[in-house]
């Protein structure tokens, strides 16, 4: 009788421990998928982006930092097909904004990247990258974008899935550019 009672308590304790562990794991996954977890993704604004140079699908060498223009790097994969408004926004930006290079960084194979270009009439170059570059930029969820100034400093970082997100990024870029031009004017005035 004492053995049966002991085994019953042991079984209840083990079940309780398993439930506690499941609750901890579930809470961890919930936090990772929440806005708090996603906010930790990517490099923070003000940090230098990792340098890299790779050819796009057409063979043109793409480099970060660019040294003479701003860059919008959009990390994605085949999931880009689920965001037609984002593709439309990228096509609109590339046609209307000077001094901004937009690059799609994809870990998909060449055939899938070319199919994406054809299916959406994508006007933005795709650069095939491996998981290492995603890891260096701390990209876990997609599509994920980085706005880099000409020195390769992260100025804006966010999940992007609509043209409105890109419009917000553009306003941020224009604001930062205006501030840097203003500070340049102030420095020239102060030194004269």
| Domain spans in the chain, listed from the N-terminal domain onward | 2-33, 46-191
pLDDT tops 90 at residue 98: no
- 46-191 CATH, one of 3.30.365.10, 3.40.30.10, 3.90.1150.10, 3.40.50.2000: 3.40.30.10
Q: Which long-range contacts (CB under 8 A, 24 or more apart) does 56-59 make?
A: 56/103, 56/125, 56/126, 56/127, 57/110, 57/113, 57/114, 57/117, 57/125, 57/126, 57/127, 57/128, 58/125
Q: Which range has the worst mean pLDDT, 10-19, 43-52, 64-73, 97-106?
A: 10-19
pLDDT tens digits, 55-86 = 999 999 999 998 888 999 999 988 888 888 88
Contact 124, 83 (CB under 8 A): no
Which uninterrupted H or E stretch holds 127? strand 126-128
**φ/ψ of residue 132, rounded to 5:** -60, -40
Read off the pLDDT band of 192 (50, 70, 90): very low
Q: What number of helices (H) and strands (E) belong to the chain?
A: 6, 7
pLDDT tops 70 at residue 37: no
Q: Which range has the worst mean pLDDT, 20-24, 159-163, 171-175?
A: 20-24
Q: How many CB atoms lie within 10 A of CB 154?
A: 19
Let me know if 179 is exposed, middle or buried by CB neighbors in 10 A (0-12, 13-18, 19+).
exposed
Q: Which residue has the higher pLDDT, 11 or 45?
A: 45
Which residues, other chains included, contact 117 with Cβ-Cβ below 8 Å and sequence gap of 6+?
A: 57, 126
Q: For the whole prediction, is pTM greater than 0.75?
A: no
């Amino acid at each position: 009788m004492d053995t049966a009672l002991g085994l019953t308590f042991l079984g209840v304790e083990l079940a309780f421990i398993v439930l506690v562990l499941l609750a901890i794991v579930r809470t961890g996954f919930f936090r990772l998928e929440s806005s708090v977890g996603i906010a930790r993704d990517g490099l923070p604004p003000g940090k230098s982006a990792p340098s890299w140079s790779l050819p796009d699908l057409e063979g043109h060498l793409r480099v970060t930092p660019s040294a003479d223009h701003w860059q919008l790097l959009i990390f994605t994969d085949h999931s880009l097909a689920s965001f037609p408004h984002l593709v439309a926004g990228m096509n609109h930006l590339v046609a209307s904004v000077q001094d901004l290079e937009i690059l799609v960084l994809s870990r998909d194979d060449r055939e899938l990247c070319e199919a994406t270009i054809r299916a959406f009439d994508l006007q933005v170059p795709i650069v095939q990258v491996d998981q290492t570059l995603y890891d260096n930029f701390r990209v876990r969820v997609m599509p994920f974008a980085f706005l880099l100034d000409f020195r390769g400093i992260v100025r804006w970082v966010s999940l992007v899935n609509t043209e409105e997100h890109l419009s917000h990024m553009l306003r941020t870029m224009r604001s930062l550019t205006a501030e840097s031009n203003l500070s340049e004017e102030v420095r020239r005035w102060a030194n004269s």
